[in-house]
Amino acid sequence: MKTMGIRWATLLLSLAALLQLQMIRAVRLHPRQAAQYDAGSDHRREAPAAESDHPERGDVPGWVMITLMSAVLVAALLALAGPALEAMFNQAMDKVGN
C-alpha cells in the first residue's frame, strides 16, 4: 500500500511538472510581440493579445495547479495514514457486524 501511494505521488508530481512546462511554453510571447514590448513601450500595459485569444478565456493554469496539488496532498496523506484508516474502517465494520 505504501509503495502504491509513493508511485501515485510520483506520477502526480511528474504530471504537474509536465503541465507547468507546457504552460510556460504556451505563455511565451511571439518574437514580434516581444520585440515591440521591449522597444520602449510602457511595461505596465499588458502585451497585445493574439487574435486567437478568446476574451472570456479563464485562468486554466491556476485551477489546474490547485487541482493537481490537492490530488498530490490527498495521495500523500493516504500514503502516510493509509494503514491507520484501514484499521479504523475494519474496527468500525466489526462493531457494526456484531
Q: Dump pLDDT digits (tens) for 33-86.
A: 555 555 555 555 555 555 666 666 666 677 788 888 999 999 998 889 988 999
Report yes or no: 71 and 12 within 8 Å, Cβ to Cβ.
yes
3-state secondary structure of 59: coil
Q: Which three cell numbers stand for residue 29?
A: 510571447
3-state helix, strand, coil in the chain (%, to 5): 75, 0, 25
Q: What is the pTM of this model?
A: 0.35
User: Comparing 94 with 62, which gets the higher pLDDT?
Assistant: 94
Q: Where are the domains of the chain?
A: 2-41+60-97
Report yes or no: 75 and 9 within 8 Å, Cβ to Cβ.
yes
